[in-house]
Structure 1
Amino acid sequence: MADKGDKETEITSDTEQKGPKQRKSSWGKLRHVDSLNLEAGRIFSSDKGLGPSIGMVYGDLGTSPLYTFAGIFPESIGHPDNLLGALSLILYCIILFPLVKYTFVVLNANDYGEGGTFALYSLLCRHVRVSLDPNQQPEDRDLSNYKLEIPSSQLKRAHYIRGKLESSEAVKIILLLVTLLGTSMVIGDGIVTPSISEAVVGFTVLILFTLFYAQQFGTDKVGFSFAPILTLWFLLLIGFGFYNLHAYGFGVLRAVNPYYIVHYFRRGGKEGWISLGGVVLSTTGTEAMFADLGHFSVRAIQLSFSFVVMPSILVAYCGQAAYLTEHPTDVVDTFYRSIPGPMYWPTFVIAVLASVIASQAMISGVFFNYHSVVIAWMFSKSEGIAVVAVMIITTGMLALIMLIIWRTNIFWVILFCEFYGIVELVLFTSVLSKFVQGGFLPIVFAAFMMGIMGIWHYVHHKRYDFELRNKVSSEYMTQLAKDPRINRVTGMGLLCSELVHGIPPIFPHFVSNIPSIHSVLVFLSLKKLPVIKISEEVRFLFRHVDPREYRMFHCIVRYGYMDIIGTNEEFEHQLLERFKDFIRKEYLIADGGATEQTTDDRTGGIVPAPIQGVEEEIGFVERAADGGVVYLLGEAHVKAKQNSYTLTKIIVDYVYTFRRNNFRQGEAQMMVSHTRLLRVGMTYEI
C-alpha cells in the first residue's frame, strides 16, 4: 500500500467507456498451477450496426397516435382549452421521457450493447457484489478491463455506497426482486400490446398466428420485412399532421407553453389527474427502445429517434389537435376521422400493418406463444400500468449506476431522481385508478411470472447450497485412486453439474453404480454470468483434481446470457482445444520456464518451446477423446425435508418440480445424442 502522503489510486472497470482490449501475461512470473487464475480477462462484444429493421424498436411508440386522445378524453373534451392542455402534456411527456431520459441517458447504461432491466442488473453485478448467485468466483470479476482512477469525492462516495450494498443481504434480495419485477412487467406489457394496437380483434388474432408462424425464420428477417411499412407509416403521420395543421389552423401550437398544463389541472381537478393515464399511452413503447437495443447501436437510436420518429409523432399529435378544434365530437376516433377521404382505406391497411410491427417489437423481446392470442381476444386495452412501473424501476436502478459506476455529480443525480421520480409516481397513481378497467392484466401476469422466477431462484439456490455442503472430499478422491476395484476405460467422461467449488456429491453415486471411470474424467460446470458474451479464449477454465496422475480435471465453462452453447460437436472441439492449451501452459509454469527456446517466424522474437512430456500428455487426451466422449448427467431430484413448512413443501415438491420437468435440460441445450448420455439419479433434501 502506498504511503499516506502518496495519492491512492484504484483499479476499476473501464469496459463500458473504452471497449474490450486484450491483455498480455508473463507466464514466467506465475508461481502456481491454477488456470482458474490465468488470463481470464477478455470479453467478446461485437459492434452492432443499424440492425435489421427500425420497426423492431419504434413500432409501439409509432402507433401511439392511434389511441392516445381517446385515452385522455374517453367521453368528451369539455372546455376547449382542455385540448391545448392535453396536447401540451403529450408534447412534454414525449420530450422528457423517450427523448431526454431514454435516448440520451438510459441508453448509455447498456450492457455491451444490450438493454433492458436485466442489463441494468448485470451491469451493477459486474461492479458491485450484489448477486445472490452462490457460484461466484474471483475470476469472474476479471471479465472486464481496468484503468487507474484518481481519488475524488465521487470515488469515495461510490466506495461507501458499494460497501453498504455488498454488506446488506436485504438490498441484494430487493435488487433481484426489482429486476424480476421489471422483466415480468415488460413481458406483461408485451402480451397486451397486440390488443391495444389493433381495432379489430378477429383480425388481430389472424395476424398474431401469422406472426408467430413467421418467427421460426428468425426475428431479424421478420423485422427486416417490416422496414418499408414503418417508413411509410411515419411519412403518413407527418404528412397528415401538416395537412390538418394547414386545414384547421396552427393555433394549437400554443400548447408548447406549459401554462396550459397548469390551467388544465386547475380546471379539471380529479378528472385531469385521471386523464394522465391516457397521456401515458403516448409514451407506450419507450422501454422497448432500451429493451430492444441489441438490434441497433446507441448512436443509431439517438439519431433516428431525434430526427425521424419524434418529429413525426409530434406533428401527428398537433395535427390531430388541430382537427379536434373543429370536430370535438370525433375524439374517440381522432386518427381515422382526420384522414383525408381518398386516403382512408390505404391508411387503414398501413395502420393495421404498423400495429403488427408494434406487436413484433414487444413479442420479439419475450417471444411469447399462442397464449397471447387468448389475451388479445379477451382484452381490448391496457391502461399503461406496466409502462410506468418499468419506468420507475429503471429510474431507481439508473440512480445506482450513476452513483457507483458513472460517479456522476451528486447534484445531477438528485435532480434526475427527484424530477423523474415524482413525475413517474404521479403518473403511476393515475394509471392505478383504472386498475379494474383492464390495467390489472399486466400486473397479474407480471406477479405470476415474478413468482415463478422467484421460486426457481430460491430452490436453485438451496440446491446449490446442498451440493456445496456435501461436495466430495479430497480424502475420498485419494482413496478412489487407490481402489483396485475401479476400472479405467478408454474415452473421455464429462460429468456435468452446476457446482464450481468442488466435486458434486452425485459423483460417488456414479462410482457406486458403475465402478468404472474413463481414462480422462472432466468435472464440467456450465455457468451463466451477468455479461452478454464471453470469448472462446476465456470461456474454459481448467484445474487439476488430485491425485494428478489420475487424470481428472475440473472445467468451468462460462457463458454470457446472450451466448449460444451450440451443438455438442462444436462444444467438444472448443473444449479439446482449450484443454490442450491448459496442458501446455501448465507444464510451462510447473517447469519454471521452458528448457529450450525457439524463434517465432512471424515476429523474429525468442519464444519458449514446449518442454518434454507436453506432447505425450496432449496425445493421451486426444486419444481419449477419439475413443468417445460420454456425458454423465446427474438427475438430482429436489424435495423438501419432512419437517419443512407446508408452504415450503408445496413450493419445492410441486411448483419447482413441475417447472423443472418442463425446463430445457443441459443435454437439450447442447443437442447431445441419447446414445452418449449416462444418467444417475439422486435425491436432495433441502
Structure 2
Amino acid sequence: MTALTLGALGVVFGDIGTSPLYAMQTVFVSEGLRADESHVYGIISLVVWSITIIVSLKYVTFIMRADNGGEGGIMALIALVQGATLNSRAAKAVLVALGIFGAALFYGDGMITPAISVLSAVEGLKVVTPSLESLVVPIALTVLTALFAIQRFGTEAVGRLFGPVMALWFAVLAVAGLGQVVRDPGVLRALSPVYGIEFFLDEGVVAFLALGAVVLAVTGAEALYADMGHFGRPAIRRAWFLFVFPALTLNYLGQGALILDSPTTIESPFFLLLPAWALIPAVVLATAATVIASQAVISGAFSVTRQAVALGFLPRLKIRHTSEAEGQVYVPAINGLLFVAVVGLVIGFGSSTALGSAYGIAVTGTLAIDTILYFVVVRTLWRRPLWLVVTGSALFLLVDLAFFGANIPKITHGGWFPLTLALVVFVLLTTWQRGRELVTAKRAQTDGLLVDFVEEIRTMDPPVFRAPGTAVCLTAAAGTMPLALRENVEHNHVVHEAVVIVSVETRKVPHVPRAERIVVDDLGYRDDGIMHISMRFGFQDEHDVPAALRQAAEQGLEVDIDVDGATYFVSRITIVRGDAPGMSTWRKKLFMAMANTSTNPVDTFCLPEHRIVTVGSYVEF
C-alpha cells in the first residue's frame, strides 16, 4: 500500500506538482493584475477552488470511477462510449470523434508540458544571478535533449527514484509555503470562495480572462485518470488527499502572501519564497521534478499511441517494450516528433510565461471533453437518472467551459499551436480509421470466405499435395481467406498438413483474460488439418501470436501443430487509390501515405523472422 502510494506520488502527480513554478507568475505577469489584497486573495481563492472542484471532486472522486478493465484516460473513455448503447448511431459517432479530438489535444499537452516545465525550473537561475538569463534556453534544451535521448532505455530503473524525489519536492512546496503563511496568517482568508466571487463581481472581464492563466494550476489532472491502471484508484486518492493537495494549497497561499508583502516578487514568486542559500538546490530539485513531470507526459503519449494503434486509429508503429512491466513501452516515431516539437516550442516562445498562453487551451479542451464522455457513460452504462446526469454535467461543464472561454483570446498569442496540432492529429486518426474500414471491407470481398476455401480443397481433383509441417496464415478479418494461403495453393498447388488460420482481434478493453484469449473453429471438418483460431487481445496487451499458439496447443487441438517449427505466411498488401466511394481523394492519398509508415506485421505480432514467407498483392479502394 505504501509502495503504491509512493509510486503514484512519483509518477502521477509530476505535472500538477510542478505547476506552482509558473502558475502564479503567469497569472499576474501575463494578465497584468495588481499586487493588492483584492486581486491576490481573489486569485488564490480561484486557484484553490479550481483545484478542489476539478481535481478533488471531478477527477479523483467521480471520473476515476469510470475505469475500463482497471485502465483510465481518454482512450478508455472512448472505448466505454463505443461499447455503450445509444439510440442514435450518429450521436455515438460524434461522441467518439469528440474523444479522438481530446486524445489529439493530449499530444499537444505532451509537447508543451516538457517545454514549459523545464523552462520554468531553469529560469530559477535568473533569481540566483540575473546575468545567467542568456543561459536559460541553452540549459533547458540540454536537459530536454538528454530526457528524450534516454527514452529508449525505459523508465523502470529511474522510476524507483521518482517517488522519493517527488516526496521531497512536495515537502519543499509545503514548507516553503507554510513559512510565509506563518509570517502572514491573514492570507488564510483567501481559502474562502467569497473572495473569488467578489473578484468576479468587482473586476468582471479582468477576472474572467485571468481564468485563462488560473487553469495552469490544474494541468496534469488528466494524468491522475490516465495513470490509474498503473497504481489503482486507492493509491492515487491517498497520495492526492494526504500529500499533494495540502502541499499545493500551502505553496499557493505562501506565494500569495509573498506577493502582497513584496509586489516585485511577481516575476518569480516560487523561488523568492526560499532563502538565498536554498536557491541553487531548489533549482536542481525543481529541474529534477520537471523532468519527472515531463517523463510522465511523454510516457503517457507512448501509451495513448499504443492504445490508438490497437483500437484502429493509427497504423502499426514500431513499439518497443522496455521492460517486463505492463505498459512500459517506447515508440521511436512519437519520441522523435515530440522532441522536434518541444525544441521548437522552447526556441520559439523562449519563456514559461509566454508558453502559458499556449498551454491553457489544450488543458481546458481535454477537461471539457472528459466531462462530456464521462456523463455519457454514467447515463448509458450505469443507468443513472437523467436529472442527476444533467445536473452533474451542467455544473462541471460550467467550470470547464468558463476556463475554455477564458483561453479563447489567447489563441492568437500561442493558443493556436495546440489547436492546430490537435486538428492535424484528429484528421490523421479519423482518416486512418475510415480508410482501414474501407480497405478491410474490400479485402473481405476480394479474398473470399474461409468456408468456401475449405470446400474447394476437399473437392479438388486431383487432391492438392499436403506438405509436411505447420503453416500459420494471418488473415485481416475472421472468416475471410488469407491471401498468402490462396496464392500458395494457386501457384504452388500445396497445402501443409496442418494449417492454422489466425485472425487477431483487439477488444475495447485493456486486457483479455488468458481463458478468453483463444477461440478455435474447425471450419466444419475435424479431419482435414485446417482450423481457424481467433486471438483476442486487449488494447494494452502485447499481440504475441506464437505465445497464443502455444496456449492453443496446450489446450488441445484437432491436429498436432509444431509451433516452434511452423512457417508463417504473411500477406504484403499494396494499397492503390481507385474510384470507390466513401472517402475523398485527398484523404485517400493521406491514408496511403500513412499506410507506408506501417510497420511489418512480423514485429507487431512477434513472429520469428527466420520462418516468414511473404506474399504480395494489392487492394484498390
Q: TM-score, normalised by structure 1?
A: 0.77
Asked if 1:325 is matched to 2:260, the reply is yes
Q: Distance in 1 between matches of 2:389 and 2:521?
A: 45
Q: Distance in 1 between matches of 2:109 and 2:367?
A: 12
Query: In the TM superposition, what is the alpha-carbon distance from 1:76 to its structure 2 partner?
Result: 4.2
Asked if 1:509 is matched to 2:487, the reply is yes
- Counterpart for residue 375 of structure 1: 345
Find the residue that maps to 1:550 and give its secondary structure.
coil
Find the residue that maps to 1:428 and give its secondary structure.
helix
Moved more, 347-356 or 634-643: 634-643
Q: Distance in 2 between matches of 1:537 and 1:643?
A: 41
Query: In the TM superposition, what is the alpha-carbon distance from 1:186 to its structure 2 partner?
Result: 1.2
- Counterpart for residue 530 of structure 2: 552
Question: Given the alignment, which residue of 69, 85, 94 partners 1:174?
Answer: 94
Asked if 1:537 is matched to 2:520, the reply is no
8 Å CA contact 1:52–1:295 kept in 2: the answer is no
Asked if 1:479 is matched to 2:453, the reply is no
Q: Distance in 1 between matches of 2:536 and 2:580?
A: 37
- Counterpart for residue 211 of structure 1: 147
Gaps of 5+ in 1: 1-47, 129-161, 584-617
Query: In the TM superposition, what is the alpha-carbon distance from 1:299 to its structure 2 partner?
Result: 0.6
Query: In the TM superposition, what is the alpha-carbon distance from 1:68 to its structure 2 partner?
Result: 1.2
Asked if 1:287 is matched to 2:222, the reply is yes
Q: Distance in 1 between matches of 2:470 and 2:586?
A: 40
Matched AA of 2:145: F
Deviations 1:192-244 (A, max 9, x none): 10111123332222222222333333333332222222111111111011111
Find the residue that maps to 1:563 and give its secondary structure.
coil
- Counterpart for residue 364 of structure 2: 388
- Counterpart for residue 636 of structure 1: 573
Q: Distance in 2 between matches of 1:479 and 1:113?
A: 46
Matched AA of 1:670: F
Question: Given the alignment, which residue of 188, 207, 226 partners 2:162?
Answer: 226
Asked if 1:196 is matched to 2:153, the reply is no
- Counterpart for residue 576 of structure 1: 553
Change (3 A) 1:230 1:191: same
- Counterpart for residue 394 of structure 2: 418
**What is the identity percentage for the equivalent residue pairs of Structure 1 and Structure 2?**
27
8 Å CA contact 1:194–1:376 kept in 2: the answer is no
Query: In the TM superposition, what is the alpha-carbon distance from 1:552 to its structure 2 partner?
Result: 1.1
Query: In the TM superposition, what is the alpha-carbon distance from 1:463 to its structure 2 partner?
Result: 1.2
Change (3 A) 1:279 1:307: same
- Counterpart for residue 505 of structure 2: 527
Query: In the TM superposition, what is the alpha-carbon distance from 1:437 to its structure 2 partner?
Result: 1.4
Change (3 A) 1:337 1:99: same
Deviations 1:440-462 (A, max 9, x none): 22222222222111111111100
Q: Distance in 1 between matches of 2:548 and 2:516?
A: 14
Asked if 1:661 is matched to 2:616, the reply is no
8 Å CA contact 1:543–1:555 kept in 2: the answer is yes
Q: Distance in 1 between matches of 2:9 and 2:597?
A: 35
Q: Distance in 1 between matches of 2:224 and 2:292?
A: 14
Q: Distance in 1 between matches of 2:605 and 2:539?
A: 15
Q: Which has the higher helix share?
A: 2
8 Å CA contact 2:6–2:163 kept in 1: the answer is no
- Counterpart for residue 608 of structure 1: none
- Counterpart for residue 319 of structure 2: none
Query: In the TM superposition, what is the alpha-carbon distance from 1:485 to its structure 2 partner?
Result: 5.9
- Counterpart for residue 454 of structure 1: 430
Equivalences for residues 64-79 of structure 1 within 5 A:
64-74=19-29, 75-77=32-34, 79=36
Asked if 1:442 is matched to 2:423, the reply is no
Moved more, 402-411 or 82-91: 402-411
Equivalences for residues 11-160 of structure 1 within 5 A:
49-50=4-5, 52=7, 54-74=9-29, 75-77=32-34, 79-126=36-83, 128=84
8 Å CA contact 1:291–1:365 kept in 2: the answer is yes
- Counterpart for residue 399 of structure 1: 375
Matched AA of 1:348: V
Question: Given the alignment, which residue of 236, 247, 252 partners 2:187?
Answer: 252
Find the residue that maps to 1:435 and give its secondary structure.
helix
Matched AA of 2:116: I
Deviations 1:573-608 (A, max 9, x none): 224224x1x54xxxxxxxxxxxxxxxxxxxxxxxxx
Matched AA of 1:327: S
Query: In the TM superposition, what is the alpha-carbon distance from 1:275 to its structure 2 partner?
Result: 0.9
Find the residue that maps to 2:107 and give its secondary structure.
helix
Find the residue that maps to 2:381 and give its secondary structure.
helix
Moved more, 664-673 or 467-476: 467-476
Change (3 A) 1:123 1:220: farther
Query: In the TM superposition, what is the alpha-carbon distance from 1:178 to its structure 2 partner?
Result: 1.6
- Counterpart for residue 177 of structure 2: 241
Deviations 1:349-401 (A, max 9, x none): 11111111111121111134132333333334133111111111111111111
Q: Distance in 2 between matches of 1:663 and 1:684?
A: 16
Find the residue that maps to 1:434 and give its secondary structure.
helix
8 Å CA contact 1:53–1:224 kept in 2: the answer is no
8 Å CA contact 2:499–2:531 kept in 1: the answer is yes
Find the residue that maps to 2:509 and give its secondary structure.
coil
Question: Given the alignment, which residue of 612, 615, 619 partners 1:680?
Answer: 615
Matched AA of 1:577: E
Find the residue that maps to 1:541 and give its secondary structure.
strand
The number of aligned residues is 558
Q: Distance in 2 between matches of 1:121 and 1:51?
A: 29
Matched AA of 2:508: P
Change (3 A) 1:76 1:414: closer
Query: In the TM superposition, what is the alpha-carbon distance from 1:51 to its structure 2 partner?
Result: 7.3
Q: Distance in 1 between matches of 2:281 and 2:238?
A: 29
Equivalences for residues 612-623 of structure 1 within 5 A:
618=559, 621-622=560-561
Q: Distance in 2 between matches of 1:163 and 1:655?
A: 31
Asked if 1:263 is matched to 2:198, the reply is yes
Find the residue that maps to 1:77 and give its secondary structure.
coil
Find the residue that maps to 1:553 and give its secondary structure.
strand
Query: In the TM superposition, what is the alpha-carbon distance from 1:671 to its structure 2 partner?
Result: 3.5
Matched AA of 1:346: P
- Aligned alpha-carbon RMSD (Å): 2.2
Q: Distance in 2 between matches of 1:405 and 1:421?
A: 20
Matched AA of 2:147: L
Moved more, 202-211 or 472-481: 472-481
Q: Distance in 1 between matches of 2:203 and 2:116?
A: 26
Question: Given the alignment, which residue of 276, 301, 316 partners 1:366?
Answer: 301
Query: In the TM superposition, what is the alpha-carbon distance from 1:672 to its structure 2 partner?
Result: 2.6
Q: Distance in 2 between matches of 1:108 and 1:294?
A: 12
Matched AA of 2:384: T
Matched AA of 2:269: T
8 Å CA contact 1:71–1:277 kept in 2: the answer is no
Q: TM-score, normalised by structure 2?
A: 0.85
- Counterpart for residue 384 of structure 2: 408
8 Å CA contact 1:383–1:431 kept in 2: the answer is no
Asked if 1:493 is matched to 2:471, the reply is yes
